[in-house]
Structure formats: structure tokens, C-alpha cells
Amino acid sequence: MKVSHLLRSIQYAVLTVVGWVLTPIIRLIFSLVYRSSSKCVTPIEDPLCLLPATELARKIRTREVTSEAVVRAYIERARLVNRDCNFIVADRFQEALQEARNVDTILDGHVIAEKFSEQNAPFLGVPTSIKEAFALKGMPQTSGLVMMRDYRASEDAPVVGRLRQAGLIPTMVTNVSELCMWYESANRLNGRSCNPYNTSRIVGGSSGGEGCAIASGAAVVGVGSDIGGSIRMPSFFNGIFGHKPSNGLVPSGGQFPLPTGRDMELLTTGPMCRYATDLLPLLKVMSGPEAKLAKLDQKVDVMKIRFFTMFDDGGSLLVSHVEPEIQESQRKVSTEQSNHADRYIRLISTQATEQSKIM
């Protein structure tokens, strides 16, 4: 027993030294290889591409701007930045423009049908992107698999149907990792998607095309799916907001590939947005009737929420370290949370003391 423990200790020490030697060398090689391809996409110029989806919906409904103008602005932006980032698998730009014109005609009419009301169609006329793993009628649904190159979806996935019913207009389907099984959105069919802030970096996966489109200003909201980080990692890598809801809140049907067995318990579908203010309204749309079960309208005292964070892996050189900037951000959040909690406790104690004096 002691001998096997000693051997494991020696093995660990050797691998640690190897990692200590190889890590800087590998980083240097990759930096040299990708330095020439490093580029940041051009800044967003059209102000319509700098507004939350909820604000765009309000402006369209009050006729401050037309849906066609909004959709056209996002289409032009998508065409521009896709040259550097390669996140579009296929587009439906012309169809989207026609659907936007239809919305404008409806809103310019004297009588607006109930299904187009603000309550039933809260995002009426706002463009959205769709992760290519989800069925969007008439569009590819290959998940980057070469043998599926000619396949086209015959109907919308349930969550896509709910987005359309809420008034959102799909403009394109976006790239994923092959079969949605890797944290880099690259495949032999559609190539690799590049990060809009630095095109030599990855966008994460498997919902990486969504993350890239939203971060670059080619979309304002989108839909992703997540088992082991497929919404969360692209959101983090691209600096946007994403949420993995509880299982069963949003329908996950209509995806390819669809997990089986216990993996289905881990798969969830959720929103991805450039602005945090759009997360809850979009999640309500995506969850439909189940939104009431999740009590999404109930106010939450954030001071009572517990969260856990790990600053590093314990110092092992066998895996990549957490970057110092990320560790510093974690510490700031932890410190602020602790300070807010202390102030909250003191406030409650003071209120209880004053209440006892009154009684």
C-alpha cells in the first residue's frame, strides 16, 4: 500500500514538473501561430444595434422606429462581422425583412389582433438568432456533421415556435461544435467561429455561434442549450449574459442531437442576451406556461442567495490556472457580497431594536 502511494506521488511530481516546463512553451507557440490572425471587429455604429430587445420592442410598438429598420440594421451588422468571425451557418435575411414589413403593416393598422398585443407578443418585430442545433423550418440543422449537410428542418423546435409567437424574427442559424460535444465551436462542415474581441481566440461551445453573434452586435438575443456549459461558457468567453434554467422549465425538443437516458436530466434550453435586462422577459417567453411554476415574477432578496466560487484548482500544474484577472474579479464580488450582507444584518438588527422599543 505504501509502495503504491509512493509511486503515485512520484508520478504526480513528474507530471507536475512536465506541466511546469511545457505550459509556457505551449503558450508561446500558440501566441506565435495565432498572432497574425488576431483582430477585433469594428465597433457598432448603428444605434439600433445598441439597445436591449425590450427597448427595441417598445420603440417598434410605439412606432418610433420600424421593425424593418431594426431588422435591416442587424442584418447589415451580421454581414459585416461574419467576414471575420464566421458564426453564420445559414441566413434567412430576405424572409426576415419581409416578416418585419408584415409587422409594420400590422402595427400601422387601426385594429391590432389580440395575438399581436404587447402581452402576447412582447418582442414583436425584434430580430433574433437561433443555435443551429435547434430546428428552424427550412434551415439547416446539421450540428456541424458533414453527412447531414443537405438536411433541412421541416418544422420549428418548440422553443423556436414560442419565440416566433412572442414576435421575434429569426434572421439566421449560428455555428456550433460538432454534434454539440466540445467547448470550441468548430466543425468540418462550417469551420471555426472566432471571438469578436480577438479573432485568434475561441468563442466557446457548443452555443458559440450565438455568443459570437450577440457579442459582435449581429444579434441582440438568442437561444442556446446546455448540459455541461454550452450556454455558460460561450456567454463568459464573449462577454454576454446567458442562463441555464432548471431542467424542464423550457422545452428542449427539436434539437439535433438530442441526448438520451440520464443525460436528458442535465440538458436545458435557455436565453442568451447582450443585456441582462432581457434575460427574464426572454426566459418567460421560452418557458411558456411553466413560467408560473418557476415563480419568475416573484421578487427575490439577493442578499439571501448563497453562491460558491473556487479561485483555483489548488495549485496543480497538471491543468491550466485561473487567470489573475478572473481571480481578482471573484474576490471583488465576494468582498462586496460580504459587505452587503453585513450592512443588511445591521439594518435588520437596528429595525428589530427600534421595533422592540415601540412595543
Known catalytic residue at 115: no
Q: What is the dihedral of CA 117, 118, 120, 123, to 10 degrees?
A: 120
Report which of 144, 173, 177 is spatially closest to residue 156, judged by C-alpha positions: 173
pLDDT for the residue numbered 15 = 79
Among 26-35, 94-103, 119-128, 186-195, the least confident range: 26-35
In words, the CATH class of domain 39-296 is alpha beta
Q: What is the pLDDT of residues 62-74, one digit of tens each?
A: 999 999 999 999 9
Compute the average pLDDT of residues 82-91: 98
Which of 67, 143, 206, 207 is labelled catalytic? Answer: 206
Q: Which of 7-11, 77-81, 228-232 has the lowest mean pLDDT?
A: 7-11
Q: Which of 59, 67, 129, 131 is catalytic?
A: 131
Residue 357, pLDDT above cutoff 50:
no
Give whole-number Cα distances, 148 to 54, 88, 259, 271, in Å: 36, 17, 18, 26
Look up cell 455555428; give the residue.
175
Instruction: Quick: pLDDT tens for 241-288.
Output: 999 999 999 999 999 999 888 889 999 999 999 999 999 999 999 999
User: Structural domain boundaries of the chain?
Assistant: 1-37, 39-296, 299-359
For residues 217 and 77, give the distance between their C-alpha atoms in angstroms, rounded to a whole number: 7
206 is catalytic: yes
Active site residue 131: yes
Residue 42 in grid coordinates: 469594428
Q: Catalytic residue among 230, 235, 252, 287, which? A: 230
User: pLDDT tens for residues 193-217?
Assistant: 999 999 999 999 999 999 999 999 9
pLDDT-derived band at 306, boundaries 50, 70, 90? confident
